[in-house]
């Protein structure tokens, strides 16, 4: 979910979509909620009030000053689990019988621990409580996201990629019963360079200067992935969701 346009779309449409698609549980990646750079306590509360059950984060987890105390006190907003254990917050939560794990990829994002190592440990911990385990893998590299899905196939319900903002056409259920998609897409402005006004992004690439990126607002869509699973936690379907808004 990207910026104010993404949040407005979630606030206007998420409740209705949940009903229409008979959704039992909804996870929103909120790390770009505050104009693309992190999230605040107030924004997190608004997303939860709009119908998200759990909010995951990513590389922008510390993008907004003063967010750490809220993160420490929440069991519905989680950060990547493979950051240093000395940082606030948690990377696994179990809410309404669904375990959600948030992980950060290695390429360009430099996590504290390998996501594969952290995943092995946390999946085991989650499976002691519930068979339904969803992983939000916030990562840059397609290969790393697909590799983690295969690594966890048969052990978790889904491995869903986020961070690159462009929905990939590979939603599927792997042989062991794990749903997977390389990138779930972006809820936000699609007339943009992954959420931001193109001119700023182009200036960055043509000058190499640290140009501040501003959020765009055109062609807003809700994007995501819809997973069905059995009581054993195995996925039975995995479909892309793409809904134009306004
Ligand atoms: Fe990200």
* Distance, CA of 174 to CA of 158 (rounded, Å): 9
- What's the structural domain count of the chain? 1
Task: Give me ligand 1 centre to Cα 145, in Å.
Answer: 14
Domain enclosing residue 190, as ranges: 3-244
Instruction: Determine the pLDDT at residue 160.
Output: 98
Q: Where are the alpha helices (DSSP H) in the chain?
A: 3-20, 41-49, 68-73, 115-127, 142-152, 198-207
Task: Give me ligand 1 centre to Cα 104, in Å.
Answer: 9
Instruction: Determine the pLDDT at residue 46.
Output: 98
Look at strands 188-189 and 179-181 and give their pairing. unpaired
Q: What is the CATH number of the domain that holds 176?
A: 3.60.21.10
Task: Give me ligand 1 centre to Cα 30, in Å.
Answer: 9
Dihedral class, residue 195 (left if φ above 0, else alpha if ψ from -120 to 50, else beta)? left
The dihedrals phi and psi of 130, each to the nearest 5 degrees, come to -155, 150
Which residues in the chain show pLDDT less than 70?
none
Task: Give me ligand 1 centre to Cα 36, in Å.
Answer: 9
Task: Give me ligand 1 centre to Cα 88, in Å.
Answer: 18
Task: Give me ligand 1 centre to Cα 187, in Å.
Answer: 13
Q: Crossing angle, helix 41-49 and helix 3-20, to 10 degrees?
A: 20
Tokens of 37: 């750079």
Instruction: Determine the pLDDT at residue 95.
Output: 97
Instruction: Determine the pLDDT at residue 179.
Output: 98
Task: Give me ligand 1 centre to Cα 59, in Å.
Answer: 5
How many of the other CB atoms lie within 10 Å of CB of 218? 10
Q: What is the residue-wise DSSP string for 194-238?
A: TTB-HHHHHHHHHH---PPP-B--SSEEEEEEEEEE-TTS-EEEE
Task: Give me ligand 1 centre to Cα 231, in Å.
Answer: 32
Please say whether the beta carbons of 214 and 196 come within 8 A: yes
Instruction: Determine the pLDDT at residue 223.
Output: 98
Task: Give me ligand 1 centre to Cα 3, in Å.
Answer: 13
Tokens of 239: 């479909």
């Amino acid at each position: 979910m990207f910026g104010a346009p993404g949040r407005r779309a979630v606030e206007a449409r998420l409740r209705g979509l949940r009903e229409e698609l008979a959704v039992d549980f909804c996870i929103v990646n909120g790390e770009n909620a505050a104009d693309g750079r992190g999230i605040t306590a107030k924004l997190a509360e608004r997303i939860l009030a709009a119908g998200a059950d759990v909010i995951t984060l990513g590389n922008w987890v510390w993008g907004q000053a003063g967010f750490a105390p809220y993160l420490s006190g929440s069991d519905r907003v989680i950060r990547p689990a493979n950051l240093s254990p000395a940082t606030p917050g948690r990377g696994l939560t179990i809410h309404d019988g669904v375990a959600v794990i948030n992980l950060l990829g290695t390429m360009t994002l430099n996590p504290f621990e390998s996501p594969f190592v952290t995943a092995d440990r946390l999946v085991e911990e989650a499976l002691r409580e519930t068979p339904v385990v969803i992983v939000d893998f916030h990562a840059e590299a397609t290969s790393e996201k697909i590799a983690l899905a295969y690594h966890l196939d048969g052990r978790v319900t889904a491995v869903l990629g986020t961070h690159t903002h462009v929905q990939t056409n590979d939603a599927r259920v792997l042989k062991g019963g794990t749903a997977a998609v390389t990138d779930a897409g972006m809820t936000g402005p699609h007339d943009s360079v992954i959420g931001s006004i193109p001119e700023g992004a182009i200036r960055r690439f043509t000058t190499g200067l640290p140009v501040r990126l501003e959020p765009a607002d055109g062609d807003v869509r809700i994007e995501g992935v819809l997973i069905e699973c059995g009581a054993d936690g195995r996925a039975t379907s995995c479909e892309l969701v793409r809904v134009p808004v306004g």
